């Protein structure tokens, strides 16, 4: 009889960290091909739309970058938090907190115009951080499970936002449940005329190497990794775990908050129900695919932006529902989680 | 002679590699009924790998196993048990809340879903009478002493009609008296026709209990001894290490002022159920230039003493005084700042971080300060200089300084910890089980470093379950039992018998 069994690896070869995400994506494409076929479309035609429309024109390419910005931020947020084993599933709520802070500041008539964009950035980061500190304090003080609290706080923040924009914060001009538009001076500068390529996209590209530096070259990053890999040894060595967890949560929340600030300042200029189609959750998939490496977050975010924009043109051209993009994310996450197993184990065939 | 009979167990040409490491190369092992076979070797010699292949934990790359002349394939522990192979691991596999009898019933096929408790009770009694392994069937395992829990593990194997029994370093958790008791039971079992494989690196034990021995080094069998009476302990040791062993020489001690003092220290019971005994009015003193050994059966408060001095546990009463400073709220940072080097018992769990680079593990407690970082930014060049220097000074064998910590061998892990904790001239060194699981060469290296610290006027608190080590290094030995210090003996007046009785809870008058 032939049996397969898993054995622990003595070391992980470096190339595997590049190959595994690619294999996971390949597996995802194969699995989702079944769904495309079930939707009655030609798989190759549908996939060529899905994967290539993002790079088919300059406009589409820029739009893909614009889509990549918020999920790069949430991806960085998750990558930082997961390093400390702070399971922040709450980037979605922290994004909304940041967006609301930005929409509120951006609409203040009393503030000088030049101060609006920097204040939106700062307050958005602070709001996201504050919303992440709540579960961090619950975890470090009362050992409340962070997966549950961060996840549930997403819904609290979403419905809080909806209650506000359908009540005291409703836009009196439009009459829809959305907030009043921010001032023109608060709108993010556009980097490329005729497109939506705004300041937030640039910030995302700058943030990734900064976060990488922080994680790799500073004592804070060192401590975050130490606490995540072995909290007992970290404590024994004198690292104060509650301080590190709290700091990680604040950093993670601030990054997620920036995702929301960018969407308000560069795209929507207000908050409303459709502000984030699950960018916070997509961040988890991206961080996982990047193996929590902040530099890996950028290509992973770009890839999912390709899928999100590509799904729409695929849908228009072949009739495959756009929701395939969501299925794709889910399957990619599971495939990658399985692939990560192979960084630790190898398969052996036993006869 | 036994050789004419069919062997109980025959392993031939067993090989197993992990990546580039050849853990077993073409190993043969023959076990006859009535044998007590000593499997002797340093850590990493391949003893455990060989036994794991026999017990179905690893699949061999090549090789064949025969049991009573029949070729067999063992690919799980269930297969092994069904073939009559029983194993007593170093860490017990018992359910603490269940009774002795119920622990025996676990995993046993019932009779159409019904448990045969009365039959089991009878069998337990039979086994108890035959081998002197008596246990109260209705006692919960959590109430058993460590020696009794081990007895239950052996009974569990016999209960499944094991015809051969593998014991992996079985005396590590026992008092000397308990070990003698175990040896009597093993002799009774061998007399009854069981085959026993006794894994150890303690030479005197192998001499005392086995009739044959097989010595492994670097994955190969380097020698077999068919009559254990024909070789001396010293010769066995040389076969095991491949070179002569010279014990370190200890200069006479000239104790200076007290550098570490515990005065009537009491601690709260640990939150975790598995915790040992909380401390009850423990008083200890270690002076400059002396080694104070702490003896005791595992779980009698030694871990608590270590944790208190390491700064990860707080006293509820009493006083901790380090180098003249009273420490009211011990914390790892505060203790380190008083120049205490700390070698924790659990190297990879508490000391080092398995998944991080070795260099990171080595600077872990000092990363926040110069020279390793400035303004919160790591100085990678300085870190590299320091780590490379220590790798050379402590002769740490690693492919590069950024290999994953967990890939190092036990001896090298301990060297990384020593390199870290002895780097900045500590005044006090706390060492818990510093040579557990290390081979003779690595253990000797550790001992030499401690004696260097002692000669330089450092105070060493050595917590160990290895009496040989305690007698070798200590200037005084304190014995702990149920969270108390029973007595502190000067090394000249300490004997194994006396320490053993104190370890079992005898008062100092009775033990005298």
| pLDDT, position B4 | 58
Superfamily of domain B258-339+425-511: P-loop containing nucleotide triphosphate hydrolases (3.40.50.300)
Which of B373 and B271 is assigned the larger pLDDT? Answer: B373
Please name the member of A3, A217, A230 whose beta carbon is closest to the beta carbon of B353.
A230
B307 min Cα distance to partner chain A (Å): 9
Of chain B, the end-to-end C-alpha distance in Å amounts to 46
Q: How many C-beta atoms lie closer than 10 Å to residue B280's C-beta?
A: 16
- Chain B residue numbers with beta carbons less than 8 Å from the beta carbon of A8 are 18
Contact B18 A348 (CB under 8 A): no
Task: Please say if the pLDDT value at position B272 is more than 60.
Answer: no
Q: Nearest 5 degrees, angle CA A293-CA A89-CA A84?
A: 45
Task: Provide DSSP, B105-129.
Answer: HTTPPPBTTB--HHHHHHHHHHHHH
Contact B75 A348 (CB under 8 A): no
Nearest CA in chain B to A219: B376
- Chain B residue numbers with beta carbons less than 8 Å from the beta carbon of A219 are 367-368, 373, 376-378
- Chain A residue numbers with beta carbons less than 8 Å from the beta carbon of B364 are 226, 233-234, 237, 239
- Chain B residue numbers with beta carbons less than 8 Å from the beta carbon of A218 are 373, 376-378
Q: Helix, strand or coil for residue B379?
A: coil
B374 touches chain A (CB under 8 A): no
CATH architecture label of B9-241: 3-Layer(aba) Sandwich (3.40)
| pLDDT, position A55 | 85
Residue with tokens 């970082």: B373
- Chain A residue numbers with beta carbons less than 8 Å from the beta carbon of B307 are none
Overall average pLDDT of the B449-455 stretch: 95
Q: Tell me: cis bond preceding B361? Omega within 30 of 0 counts.
A: no
Instruction: Judge whether B102 and B95 are in contact, CB under 8 Å.
Output: yes
Task: Calculate what percentage of chain B has a pLDDT beyond 70.
Answer: 96
Most A CBs within 10 A among B61, B71, B307, B332, hence the mutation to make, goes to B332
A218 min Cα distance to partner chain B (Å): 4
Number of folded domains that form chain A? 1
| pLDDT, position B439 | 75
B78 touches chain A (CB under 8 A): no
Read off the CATH number of the domain in which A76 is found.
1.10.3470
For residue B353, give the nearest of A240, A343, A226, A344 by alpha carbon: A226
> What is the rounded distance in angstroms from the CA atom of residue B208 to the CA atom of residue B229?
9
Which tens digits make up the pLDDT trace of B350-384?
A: 999 998 999 999 999 999 988 999 999 999 999 99
Please name the member of B350, B355, B367 whose beta carbon is closest to the beta carbon of A222.
B367
Contact A236 B354 (CB under 8 A): no
Instruction: Judge whether A288 and A338 are in contact, CB under 8 Å.
Output: no
- Chain B residue numbers with beta carbons less than 8 Å from the beta carbon of A229 are 353-356
Tokens of residue A108, six digits:
């203040």
B439 min Cα distance to partner chain A (Å): 21
Contact B350 A219 (CB under 8 A): no
Contact A229 B353 (CB under 8 A): yes
- Chain B residue numbers with beta carbons less than 8 Å from the beta carbon of A348 are 59
Which tens digits make up the pLDDT trace of B129-158?
A: 888 888 899 999 888 877 888 899 999 999
Q: Nearest 5 degrees, angle CA B125-CA B131-CA B134?
A: 45
A6 touches chain B (CB under 8 A): no
A95 min Cα distance to partner chain B (Å): 28
Nearest CA in chain A to B404: A11
> What is the rounded distance in angstroms from the CA atom of residue A324 to the CA atom of residue A337?
20
| pLDDT, position B90 | 78
Please name the member of A11, A217, A235 whose beta carbon is closest to the beta carbon of B312.
A235
Residues of chain A with pLDDT under 50: none
- Inter-residue long-range contacts of A37-40, CB under 8 Å, 24+ positions, other chains counted: A39/A318, A39/A319, A39/A320, A39/A321, A39/A324, A40/A319
Categorise residue A164: left if φ over 0, alpha if ψ from -120 to 50, beta otherwise: alpha
A209 min Cα distance to partner chain B (Å): 15
Q: Which residues, in sequence order, are CB contacts of B403 under 8 Å at separation 6+?
A: A11, B357, B358
B200 min Cα distance to partner chain A (Å): 25
Q: Which residues, in sequence order, are CB contacts of B181 under 8 Å at separation 6+?
A: B132, B147
Categorise residue A335: left if φ over 0, alpha if ψ from -120 to 50, beta otherwise: alpha
Contact B355 A222 (CB under 8 A): no
Nearest CA in chain A to B61: A350
Alpha-carbon A183 to chain mean position: 27
Which of B201 and B273 is assigned the larger pLDDT? Answer: B201
Nearest CA in chain B to A239: B365
| pLDDT, position B1 | 42
Size of interface A-B (CB pairs under 8 A): 82
- Chain A residue numbers with beta carbons less than 8 Å from the beta carbon of B404 are 11
Tokens of residue A291, six digits:
């193996």
| pLDDT, position B5 | 77
Which tens digits make up the pLDDT trace of B228-264?
A: 888 888 888 888 877 766 777 788 878 899 999 999 9
Contact B59 A5 (CB under 8 A): yes
Please name the member of B349, B367, B376 whose beta carbon is closest to the beta carbon of A232.
B349
- Chain A residue numbers with beta carbons less than 8 Å from the beta carbon of B336 are 238
pLDDT-derived band at B273, boundaries 50, 70, 90: very low
Which of A262 and B277 is assigned the larger pLDDT? Answer: A262
Most B CBs within 10 A among A233, A240, A251, A292, hence the mutation to make, goes to A233
Contact A236 B403 (CB under 8 A): no
Q: In this structure, what DSSP letter does residue B185 have?
A: H
Name the helix (H) or strand (E) containing B164.
strand B164-168
| pLDDT, position A160 | 97
A210 touches chain B (CB under 8 A): no
| pLDDT, position B251 | 82
Of chain A, the end-to-end C-alpha distance in Å amounts to 6
Q: How many C-beta atoms lie closer than 10 Å to residue A84's C-beta?
A: 27
Residues A152-179 as b or e (16 or more Cβ within 10 Å = b): ebbeebbeebbebbeeebbbeeeeebbb
Contact B332 A10 (CB under 8 A): no
- Point out which residues pair with B22 in neighbouring strands: B17
- Chain A residue numbers with beta carbons less than 8 Å from the beta carbon of B306 are none
B316 touches chain A (CB under 8 A): no
Q: Which residues, in sequence order, are CB contacts of A215 under 8 Å at separation 6+?
A: A80, A83, A221, A224, A225, A294
Please name the member of B21, B59, B350 whose beta carbon is closest to the beta carbon of A10.
B21
Q: In what order do the strands lie in the sheet with B315-322?
A: B282-287, B258-267, B315-322, B325-326
pLDDT-derived band at B2, boundaries 50, 70, 90: very low
Please name the member of A3, A218, A237 whose beta carbon is closest to the beta carbon of B376.
A218
| pLDDT, position A351 | 58
Query: What Å distances lie between residue A119 and A211, A264, A267, A306, B319, CA to CA?
Result: 21, 13, 18, 31, 53
Instruction: Judge whether A215 and A247 are in contact, CB under 8 Å.
Output: no
Contact B344 A236 (CB under 8 A): yes
| pLDDT, position B237 | 81
For residue B343, give the nearest of B421, B450, B290, B404 by alpha carbon: B421
Range of the domain at A316: 3-350
């Amino acid at each position: 009889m032939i049996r397969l069994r898993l054995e622990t690896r003595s070391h992980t070869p470096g190339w595997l960290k590049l190959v595994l995400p690619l294999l996971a994506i390949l597996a995802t494409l194969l699995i989702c091909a079944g769904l495309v076929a079930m939707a009655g479309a030609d798989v190759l035609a549908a996939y060529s739309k899905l994967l290539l429309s993002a790079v088919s024109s300059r406009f589409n390419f820029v739009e893909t970058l614009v889509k990549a910005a918020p999920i790069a931020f949430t991806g960085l947020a998750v990558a930082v938090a997961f390093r400390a084993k702070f399971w922040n599933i709450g980037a979605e709520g922290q994004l909304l907190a940041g967006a609301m802070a930005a929409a509120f500041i951006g609409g203040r008539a009393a503030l000088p115009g030049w101060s609006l964009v920097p204040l939106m950035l700062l307050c958005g980061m602070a709001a996201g951080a504050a919303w992440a500190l709540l579960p961090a304090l619950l975890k470090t003080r009362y050992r409340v499970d962070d997966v549950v609290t961060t996840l549930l706080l997403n819904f609290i923040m979403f419905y809080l936002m909806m209650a506000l924009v359908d009540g005291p914060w409703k836009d009196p001009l439009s009459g829809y449940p959305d907030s009043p538009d921010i001032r023109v001076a608060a709108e993010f500068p556009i980097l490329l005329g005729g497109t939506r390529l705004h300041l937030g996209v640039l910030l995302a590209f700058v943030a990734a190497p900064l976060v990488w530096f922080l994680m790799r070259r500073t004592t804070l990053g060192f401590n975050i990794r130490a606490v995540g890999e072995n909290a007992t040894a970290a404590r024994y060595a004198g690292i104060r775990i509650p301080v590190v967890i709290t700091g990680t949560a604040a950093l993670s929340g601030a990054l997620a908050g920036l995702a929301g600030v960018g969407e308000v300042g560069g795209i929507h200029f207000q908050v409303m129900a459709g502000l984030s189609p699950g960018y916070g959750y997509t961040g988890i998939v991206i961080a996982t695919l990047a193996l929590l490496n902040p530099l890996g977050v950028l290509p992973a975010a770009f890839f999912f932006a390709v899928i999100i924009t590509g799904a729409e043109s695929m849908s228009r051209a072949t009739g495959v529902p756009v929701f395939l993009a969501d299925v794709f994310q889910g399957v990619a996450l599971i495939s990658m989680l399985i692939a990560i197993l192979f960084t630790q184990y190898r398969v052996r065939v036993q006869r | 002679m036994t050789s004419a009979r069919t062997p109980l167990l025959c392993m031939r040409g067993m090989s197993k590699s992990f990546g580039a490491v050849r853990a077993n190369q073409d190993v043969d092992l023959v076990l006859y009924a009535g044998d007590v076979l000593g499997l002797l070797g340093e850590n990493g010699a391949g003893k455990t790998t060989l036994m794991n292949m026999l017990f179905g934990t690893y699949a061999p790359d090549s090789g064949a196993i025969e049991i009573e002349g029949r070729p067999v394939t063992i690919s799980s522990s269930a297969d092994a048990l069904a073939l009559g192979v029983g194993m007593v691991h170093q860490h017990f596999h018992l359910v603490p809340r269940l009774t002795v009898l119920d622990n025996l019933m676990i995993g046993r096929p019932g009779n159409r879903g019904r448990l045969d408790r009365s039959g089991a009770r009878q069998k337990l009694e039979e086994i108890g009478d035959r081998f002197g392994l008596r246990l109260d069937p209705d006692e919960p395992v959590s109430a058993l002493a460590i020696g009794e829990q081990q007895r239950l593990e052996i009974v569990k194997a016999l209960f499944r009609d094991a015809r051969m029994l593998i014991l992996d370093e079985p005396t590590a958790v026992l008092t000397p008296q308990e070990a003698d008791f175990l040896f009597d039971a093993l002799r009774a079992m061998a007399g009854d026709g069981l085959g026993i494989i006794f894994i150890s690196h303690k030479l005197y034990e192998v001499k005392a209990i086995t009739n044959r021995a097989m010595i492994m080094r670097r994955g190969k069998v380097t020698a077999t001894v068919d009559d254990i009476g024909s070789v001396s302990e010293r010769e066995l040791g040389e076969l095991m290490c491949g070179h002569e062993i010279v014990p370190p020489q200890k200069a006479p001690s000239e104790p200076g002022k007290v550098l570490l003092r515990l005065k009537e220290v009491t601690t709260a019971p640990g939150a975790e159920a598995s915790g040992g005994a909380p401390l009850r009015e423990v008083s200890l003193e270690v002076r400059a230039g002396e080694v104070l050994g702490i003896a005791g059966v595992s779980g009698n408060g030694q871990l608590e003493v270590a944790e208190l001095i390491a700064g990860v546990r707080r006293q509820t009463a009493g006083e901790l005084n380090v180098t003249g400073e009273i420490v009211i709220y011990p914390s790892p940072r505060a203790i380190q700042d008083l120049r205490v080097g700390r070698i924790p018992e659990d190297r990879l769990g508490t000391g080092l971080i398995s998944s991080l680079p070795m260099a990171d593990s080595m600077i872990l407690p000092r990363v926040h300060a110069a020279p390793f970082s400035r303004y919160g930014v790591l100085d990678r060049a300085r870190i590299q200089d320091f780590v490379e220097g220590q790798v050379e000074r402590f002769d740490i064998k690693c492919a590069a300084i950024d290999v994953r910590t967990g890939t190092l061998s036990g001896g090298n892990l301990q060297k990384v910890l020593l390199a870290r904790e002895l780097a900045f001239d500590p005044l006090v060194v706390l060492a818990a089980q510093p040579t557990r699981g290390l081979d003779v060469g690595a253990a000797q290296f550790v001992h030499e470093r401690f004696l260097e610290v002692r000669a330089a006027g450092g105070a060493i608190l050595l917590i160990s379950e290895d009496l040989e080590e305690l007698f070798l290094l200590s200037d005084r030995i304190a014995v702990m039992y149920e969270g108390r210090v029973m007595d502190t003996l000067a090394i000249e007046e300490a004997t194994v018998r006396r320490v053993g009785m104190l370890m079992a809870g005898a008062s100092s008058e009775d033990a005298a």
